[in-house]
Structure 1
Amino acid sequence: MLIRRRGVMTFLATAILLVSSVGLTVQARADDVSDARGLIQTTASKLLGVINSSQSDAQKQVQMQQLVRGAVDVDGVARFVLGRYWRVATPAQQQDYMQTFRQLLVYAVTGQASTFQGAKFNVGEAAQRDAGIVVDTDVLVPGKPEAQVQWVVATVGGEPKIIDIIAEGTSLRLTERNDYAGVISQHGGQIEALLDAMHHQLARFRSGS
């Protein structure tokens, strides 16, 4: 349920997240394509730098948080995942959801980081697609099969941001959105049920269980 631990795909999805904000422009110039590829190269380099460092978990958590906020439109991410339920949530529920979502993201990333030491990203071609600018990468983790991952980038607030990850042909933003909607629908459309589940998961992360 929610942000799950799924090996390399989970780490990638939670590290640079899953989703996009609504209403992004997908038309791209040559410079936009170059910027998108540069974003992936820079983000991957910084990510691996943090993972492979000898810093404490607390220090890594702070750096991961900064990295995610710089590479992703986090608020747009959260709203997309909640989907149509965002419009029916109360202001208090929206605030609770956004705060909890941000915290879950950071804990999910740092909780997986130590198992990906020595990983490498090989950045391939970048091209405009319907969903945005897609950047191909090969992800190499010692002792694990090579993974082909595509990163979808769009311009948000004048800057390139990662808006989706496609792993094994599956859009992770849509997968996560369906998961969240499933939790709510199983509880009679009550958003509070999703918030309770997120709070429970956050408590588990904090306790290390």
Structure 2
Amino acid sequence: MPVAVQAADPLSRAGAEAQLRRFPGVAVVDPSGAAGPGTVTVLVAESADAAATAALRRLVRGAGQRVVLVVERLRETELMEAVECGVAAILWRREATPERLGRAVLAAARGDGDLPADLQGRLIAQVGRLQRSVQGMPGQAPTGLSERESDVLRLVAEGWDTGEIAARLSYSERTVKNVLHGLTTRLQLRNRAHAVAHAVREGYI
């Protein structure tokens, strides 16, 4: 499994690479060279500030990589921003042992999410507050998702491709594509990742 490490300082990068080399099945690659689509990138940062968020967008949306974000601290607004950027896993630096870092990388490679328990609680609470604030706005009509749209988006969020989603839900692949196209067009969303982020923000999945 190709894994690249990006960090603001060479010491953090060297430390993360040394830990990953101890994990079976991981091949550490140069982030400026062999890292391409399908690579898992470990991004080490103090926080999910503007620079880290820009790096997340570039890696996920531009390079097609899955990202494990290792941070020292994370504010609630930064947490939601990281999720919307498409981060696959978040790990506290103080908990980034070789075993824990390796598990997060494997989860990202499989398309699974991996968040510390305290961040899961914060994310759920934040999504709930956002949903209540939107519902409480005068004249704000809920966009809503159909049951079929929610089912499809939930599987997209879990990393399933079109064929797998079709088989799981007993739909044709064309039906799955039509559901996603109709959803993104109706809500003016850019792509599948944006649709998942919207559904998370609104509390639909």
Pairwise same-fold verdict (TM > 0.5): no
Relative contact order, higher structure (CA 8 A, sep 6+): 1
Q: Normalising by structure 2, what TM-score?
A: 0.30
More strand by share: 1
Q: Normalising by structure 1, what TM-score?
A: 0.30
